[in-house]
Amino acid sequence: MKPEINKSMIYDRQLRLWGDQGQNSLETANICLLNATVSGTESLKNLILPGIGKFTIVDDKKVTGSDVGSNFFLTIDQIGQSRAKCVTELLKNLNEFVEADYLEKDPVFLINENDKFFSQFNVIIASNMQEKELIKLNKICSNENIILVSLKTNGLFGILRSYVPEHTIIDAHPENVTDYRLDRPFQGLIDYCKSFDFSEMTIVEHSHMPFIVILYQCLEEFKSKHDGKMPSSYSERNELKEIIKSLRLNNDEENFDEAEKSIFKACKPTIIPSQLKEMFCDIKCSNINENSSNFWIIINAFADFAERHNCLPHSGIIPDMKSDTEKYVELQNIYRKKFQEDFYEIRQKVNTTLAQINRPIESIKDEQIITMIKNGSDLRIIRYRTLEDEFINQPNVSLIAQSLNEEFNNMVYYLLFRAVDHFYETHYRYPGVDNDSLDNDLELLKKSVEVITSQYSIDYSLIPEEAMQEIVRAGMSEIHTVSSLVGALVSQEILKLVTCQYTPMNNTCIFNGIQTTTTSYDL
Amino acid sequence: MERLSNLKQVLGKKLFDKVENSRILMVGSGGIGCELLKNLVMGGFKNIEIIDLDTIDLSNLNRQFLFQKQHIGKSKSKVARQSALEFNPNVNIIAHHDNIKDPQFNIKWFKSFDIVMNALDNLDARRHVNTMCLAANVPLIESGTSGYTGQSTVIKKNVTECYECQPKPTPKTFPICTIRSTPNTPIHCIVWAKNYLFAELFGKSEDNNEINDEVTEENNTEIENLKKESQALKELFKLAGKPEYSEKVFEKIFNLDILRLLRMENLWKTRTKPKPIDNEQYKKALEINMEMDNNNNDSKTKDNQKIYTLEENINIFKNCFEILVQRQLKGKEVDPDFSMSFEKDDDVIMKFVAATANIRAHIFHIEQLNRFKIKEIAGNIIPSIATTNAIISGVIIMDAYKILNNQLEDCNTIFLTRDSSNVFVNEFLSKPNPRCAVCRKSYFVLTVNIEKFTLNDLLNKVLMSPKDKNGLALNGDITICEDQRILYDFDFDDKLNDTFSKVKIEDGKCLNVTCDDDDKMYNVMIYVINNR
Ligand SMILES: [Zn+2]
């Protein structure tokens, strides 16, 4: 059998989550893992299985006994061999469609001496890297538009941090979409709703007309009594409810139940969400040029549309409702027609823009525009803070201080991860790696904690002694379950970032294995 | 030993030793199971039993990393064991390729474990394991995933809520008349194609659990007619193998049956009439030249996303129908009772169901869906990826460490959410629901020689015997049942002198005893262990 034959069968269960567009993005992802730690290996495993394009492991270490003890993919007979090579060969077997490569080099050396190396990738997973190198790596990623996720685990604790220069969410998979446009009905909808005459109906017809018709007609009645205005307060919505109730023939009419339940949604004015307004004002939206991404070209067309219609294009989607089939299909077609008209306008504008910047029309597919129209009010861009801002230029002191005052907070461990990095920079080793110097290391770690807390002008005593003991006791070792869990959290984020679907974390997450909790912070 | 020294340091020697000496049962070795087995062998656990009835399918490979292409069709539990041992030979893993509901997996066996971990995908098995763990008083870690979300919780008799303390939504069923006579949504057509048409033609029509054929006053004449209709379809089978078979079946289901419905005029007073497809249309459709590709090639996503024309669907119908008939005839040569069951990952079956559902949708003026979507609905497919399973499996191990460390009450119910600002949502474990019909029951293990022990012995030596003689001291109207079968009640004492083995109460069976003493109902589950 040829390889392409089975792909959609193998990937069936995930295609239902992110569709062909998501799968295509995934299959073009070229991912680099720095250091084949357990958490790094596990996160790669979870990305190889669903079929990324290619991965490369950069690691200059040799397999040790403790690697074998915590990394599922390594065996005793590999001790002493190249860790990059061994892990790559074993991971490669998980999916024949994924290209694999490795490089026996120290990632720190590459970051300092050969930053061009990284431009071939679009995702970098940096495992157990120090702050100093991460800041440099972050700069490379920022220039080359690369997704960077760093992670560390230490005993029962883990931390991950995402950075993307500019992340666009094209499909947030909102749980329910409601855009009836009843506050500003378009002609097709008006004609359809007016074609129903309540007084001429049989009982069966009355209980089978779509609730949107009921709402439309009741709103008309309401507006005629309120200078053409929509209900905007609780009491006014109640008044509308009474109008609906008065038209019921009996209590069993489910379509009237649906109408009553939809009052709030139907009365919400059709607006352009603030995050889209912000995007419309963004320089990347107004200044479309040869380097503009498809996303911004489409957003530019949305802005143009919004200027003319003061709303977003309609998605064409309406929910299921109690209705006879024919009437429902008719109503569906009315909204679909509206969507098609709106789509046509957007497509025209996109085509004009593409012509202006000398790009072929096919470079933006209909599907991409349709996806963005369907997700109109949920489109987002996230610009992540850089690690340099987090650590040096503009630390988020208020959030840190505030979080530390909460009971059972995980901010303590964020500061401890930073303190461990400081310890390493000072002593060229991790605290607790040598069983004979645990007490001494605890004292040294306290000094590092003091340095870190003083950077934020935070009271040192907010870091409990037991937490520091825990860190020293773990000795920066990886235990499999924690590393596997944190690695999986990393791959989960990378899936969201690469497919531009669902809402990714922004920007730091701490895992606490004593309480089995996670906390996300925008640091 | 040196390999796990990190783990020993982090867990502490006491807990580490407990982990090494514990016995773990993992039920299910699919999505969560593969991740969990890896975590168990890497997490210091040395004695693990796994059980799974399933075999490996192509669509498992995107996440169940212990399986590879060459394992397709093999036992999940056996291959999982073998793959895990390849990397970590120092662990004892026993794999059962069996149904967890088999009587050999009795209460005594459940009692031999320190923790049971569910890695299941269905309600029925989850319920069973829940009951067994309550009866055996073994802590159970229950879990599940769907797409990016998942959850895990801990169940312990008298300490926490059990799996059934909160009512579970029952699977949706459709009234038979909607499916057979008056469909109005795409789902109705899919259920018709899968649960009626495919089942009648190729499968066992009894297993139609998605269609509710309860007879009521209103529908009894129609149900009679529908029975005749199915019978007539079955009779066409005598033509199987002859060239006219497909045409006759098509005519029956898409022309004659529709014409019959049209004659029932009251059905169409408020509905749009269906439009039957006559023979001429059928033959004309077959004249178009449609390229058929049955080497599984057609499962490319593009074709799955397409909405076919009526003519194309008719061609697909004929093509797939004939292949399925060939399979059926071959099967019946070997075994006259041969039947097929609906299999969502079988391309020909899926195409047949999708094409016939869409032809029916066309007839009833209902929106048609593409094959990708129809497969999702017909197969009840839950999206599934490795990351979510890995995260939940990690949580399960963290809970197992707590349980072994005597901190069961510190475990939480954990929800993995889609909301990245709140990855885990933790809730304290709830107390048992005092009204729960499952965990508020008493459980009793009865070890006897089933060749000698009689129902009368059960009644007098156990149920009604006083507490100081280790009896249950029940006082009132006693009823003894096994599953749905009544063995004894006040009006039915014919079997009292029969031994357990004579009334087929064998090792591993479970008896449900109720005792009604005017103002209270007692409910006791009795698990039988045969002691020869
Ligand atoms: Zn319960």
> Does B429 lie at the interface with A, CB-CB under 8 angstroms?
no
Cα A5 from Cα A344, distance rounded (Å): 35
Distance B362 CA to ligand 1 centre (A): 47
pLDDT of residue B174: 85
pLDDT of residue A87: 97
Contacts of B384 in chain A (CB under 8 A): 13-14
Summarize pLDDT for A297-310 with one digit per residue, the tens. 999 999 999 999 99
pLDDT of residue B472: 85
Per-residue pLDDT tens, chain A, 523 aa: give them: 344 457 888 899 999 999 888 999 999 999 999 999 999 999 999 999 999 999 999 999 999 998 999 999 999 999 999 999 999 999 999 999 999 999 999 999 999 999 999 999 999 999 999 999 999 999 999 999 999 999 999 999 999 999 999 999 988 887 777 889 999 999 999 999 999 998 888 888 898 899 999 999 999 999 999 999 999 899 999 999 999 999 999 888 889 999 999 998 888 889 899 999 999 999 999 999 998 999 999 999 999 999 999 999 999 988 888 887 778 888 989 999 999 999 999 999 999 999 999 999 999 999 899 999 998 888 999 999 999 999 999 999 999 999 999 888 999 999 999 999 999 999 999 999 887 888 999 999 999 999 999 999 999 999 999 999 999 999 999 999 999 999 999 999 999 999 999 999 999 999 999 999 999 999 9
Lookup: tokens for B274: 């269906």
Do B210 and B232 fall into the same domain? yes
Q: Is B124 annotated as a binding residue?
A: yes
Identify the weakest region by mean pLDDT among A72-81, A296-305, B291-300, B358-367: B291-300
> Does A125 lie at the interface with B, CB-CB under 8 angstroms?
no
Contact indicator for B27, B141 with CB cutoff of 8 Å: no
Q: What is the mean pLDDT of chain B?
A: 89
Closest partner residue to B390 among A4, A75, A488, by Cβ?
A488
8 Å CB contact of A484 and B394: yes
8 Å CB contact of B9 and A477: yes
pLDDT level of residue B510 (50, 70, 90 thresholds):
confident
Contact indicator for B443, B134 with CB cutoff of 8 Å: yes
This model of the complex carries an ipTM of 0.90
Lookup: tokens for B341: 């069951």
pLDDT of residue B1: 41
Q: Which of B10, B366, B413 to mutate to test the interface with A (most CBs of A within 10 A)?
A: B10
Summarize pLDDT for B408-425 with one digit per residue, the tens. 999 999 999 988 778 999
pLDDT at B331 over 90: yes
pTM of the prediction? 0.89
Q: Which residues of B belong to the active site?
A: 177
Q: Which residue of B has its CA nearest to A91?
A: B65
**Residue B520 within any structural domain of the chain:** yes
- What CATH number does the domain containing B264 carry? 1.10.10.520
Q: Is B28 annotated as a binding residue?
A: yes
Q: What percent of chain A has pLDDT over 90?
A: 81
> Does B424 lie at the interface with A, CB-CB under 8 angstroms?
yes
Do B69 and B125 fall into the same domain? yes
Q: Is B126 annotated as a binding residue?
A: yes
Q: Which of A98, A122, A116, A94 is nearest to A32 (CA)?
A: A122
Residue where a domain terminates, one of B369, B398, B428: B428
pLDDT at B532 over 70: yes
Contacts of A96 in chain B (CB under 8 A): 69
> Does B395 lie at the interface with A, CB-CB under 8 angstroms?
yes
pLDDT of residue A70: 92
Summarize pLDDT for B44-87 with one digit per residue, the tens. 999 999 999 999 998 899 999 999 989 999 999 999 999 999 88
For B:184-223, CB contacts with A below 8 A are: 184-185
Q: Select the highest-mean-pLDDT range: B143-147, B180-184, B295-299.
A: B143-147
**Residue B344 within any structural domain of the chain:** yes
Do B354 and B482 fall into the same domain? no
Q: Tell me chain B's radius of gyration from C-alpha atoms.
A: 28
Lookup: tokens for B348: 């020909």
Summarize pLDDT for A183-231 with one digit per residue, the tens. 999 999 999 999 999 888 888 889 889 999 999 999 999 999 999 999 9
CA distance A374 to chain B (A): 18
Provide the 10 A C-beta neighbour count for residue A324: 18
**Residue B433 within any structural domain of the chain:** no
> Does B172 lie at the interface with A, CB-CB under 8 angstroms?
no
Boundaries of domain holding B453: 442-530
pLDDT of residue A285: 94
What is the average per-residue pLDDT within B388-414? 97
Provide the 10 A C-beta neighbour count for residue A398: 9
Residue where a domain terminates, one of B371, B400, B428: B428
Identify the weakest region by mean pLDDT among A212-221, A411-420, B256-265, B436-445: B436-445
**Residue B339 within any structural domain of the chain:** yes
Contacts of B411 in chain A (CB under 8 A): 516
What is the average per-residue pLDDT within B242-251? 93
Do B281 and B337 fall into the same domain? yes
What is the average per-residue pLDDT within B216-236? 83
Could you give all domains of chain A from N- to C-terminal order, each with its CATH number? 7-169+479-521 (3.40.50.720), 187-267 (no CATH), 274-382 (no CATH), 387-472 (no CATH)
Summarize pLDDT for B123-147 with one digit per residue, the tens. 999 999 999 999 999 999 999 999 9
Contacts of A517 in chain B (CB under 8 A): 424, 426
Do B372 and B393 fall into the same domain? no
CA distance A245 to chain B (A): 24
pLDDT of residue A2: 43
Domain count, chain B: 3
Contacts of B271 in chain A (CB under 8 A): 324-325
Do B373 and B393 fall into the same domain? no
Q: Is B29 annotated as a binding residue?
A: yes
> Does B397 lie at the interface with A, CB-CB under 8 angstroms?
yes
> Does A21 lie at the interface with B, CB-CB under 8 angstroms?
no
**Residue B437 within any structural domain of the chain:** no
CA distances from A513 to A199, A474, B398 (A): 66, 12, 7
Q: Which residue of A has its CA nearest to B366?
A: A325
Contact indicator for A132, A418 with CB cutoff of 8 Å: no
For B:343-362, CB contacts with A below 8 A are: 345
Do B358 and B397 fall into the same domain? no
> Does A492 lie at the interface with B, CB-CB under 8 angstroms?
yes
Do B94 and B163 fall into the same domain? yes
- E strands in B381-498: 412-416, 424-428, 442-448, 477-482, 485-488
Summarize pLDDT for A132-177 with one digit per residue, the tens. 999 999 999 999 999 999 999 999 999 999 999 999 998 888 777 7
Provide the 10 A C-beta neighbour count for residue B108: 14
pLDDT level of residue B295 (50, 70, 90 thresholds):
very low
CA distance A428 to chain B (A): 21
Contact indicator for A130, A425 with CB cutoff of 8 Å: yes
Q: What percent of chain B has pLDDT over 70?
A: 96
Identify the weakest region by mean pLDDT among A120-134, A373-387, B311-325, B431-445: B431-445
Cα B290 from Cα B292, distance rounded (Å): 6
> Does A11 lie at the interface with B, CB-CB under 8 angstroms?
yes
Do B368 and B258 fall into the same domain? yes
Provide the 10 A C-beta neighbour count for residue B499: 18
Cα B28 from Cα A173, distance rounded (Å): 30
Do B153 and B283 fall into the same domain? no
pLDDT level of residue B315 (50, 70, 90 thresholds):
very high
pLDDT at B207 over 70: no
Contact indicator for A84, A102 with CB cutoff of 8 Å: yes
- What CATH number does the domain containing B525 carry? 3.10.290.20
> Does B68 lie at the interface with A, CB-CB under 8 angstroms?
yes
**Residue B181 within any structural domain of the chain:** yes
Do B54 and B9 fall into the same domain? yes
CA distance A226 to chain B (A): 37
Closest partner residue to B296 among A5, A42, A504, by Cβ?
A5
CA distance B449 to chain A (A): 45
CA distance B77 to chain A (A): 18
Q: Which of A10, A17, A480 to mutate to test the interface with B (most CBs of B within 10 A)?
A: A480
Contacts of A327 in chain B (CB under 8 A): none
Query: Treating both helix axes as pointing N-terminal to C-terminal, what angle do A12-27 and A366-374 enclose, rounded to 10 degrees?
Result: 120
**How buried is B425 (Cβ within 10 angstroms: 0-12 exposed, 13-18 middle, 19+ buried)?**
middle
> Does A501 lie at the interface with B, CB-CB under 8 angstroms?
no
Q: Which residue of A has its CA nearest to B2?
A: A65
Q: Which of B71, B70, B9, B86 is nearest to B44 (CA)?
A: B9
Lookup: tokens for B247: 């045409």
pLDDT of residue B208: 62
Please enumerate in sequence order all residues whose Cβ is within 8 A of that of A151, keeping only pairs 6 or more positions apart, or say none. A39, A40, A43, A125, A126, A127, A128, A158, A159, A160, A161, A486, A487, A490
Q: Which of A12, A208, A511 to mutate to test the interface with B (most CBs of B within 10 A)?
A: A12
pLDDT of residue B54: 93
Q: Is B123 annotated as a binding residue?
A: yes
Q: Tell me the residue type at B336.
A: P
pLDDT at B204 over 80: no
Check residues B349 and B486 and name the one with the higher pLDDT: B349
pLDDT at B206 over 80: no
The partner residues of B174 in beta bridges, in order of sequence, read B211
Q: Which of B88, B270, B420, B426 to mutate to test the interface with A (most CBs of A within 10 A)?
A: B420
Residue where a domain terminates, one of B428, B457, B492: B428
Q: Which residue of A has its CA nearest to B87?
A: A75
Do B103 and B240 fall into the same domain? no
Distance of CA B376 to the CA centre of its chain: 16
Q: Which residue of A has its CA nearest to B36?
A: A481
**Residue B435 within any structural domain of the chain:** no
Cα A112 from Cα A135, distance rounded (Å): 11
Please enumerate in sequence order all residues whose Cβ is within 8 A of that of B58, keeping only pairs 6 or more positions apart, or say none. A6, A9, A10, B69, B72, B345
CA distances from B432 to B43, B106, B141, B438, B526 (A): 30, 24, 15, 10, 21
Contacts of B41 in chain A (CB under 8 A): 72
- What CATH number does the domain containing B51 carry? 3.40.50.720
Cα A149 from Cα A43, distance rounded (Å): 11
Query: Treating both helix axes as pointing N-terminal to C-terminal, what angle do B279-287 and B310-334 enclose, rounded to 10 degrees?
Result: 90
Contacts of A27 in chain B (CB under 8 A): none
8 Å CB contact of B412 and A516: yes
**Residue B434 within any structural domain of the chain:** no
Contacts of B4 in chain A (CB under 8 A): 69
pLDDT of residue B299: 44
What is the average per-residue pLDDT within B423-441? 90
The DSSP call for residue A394 is S
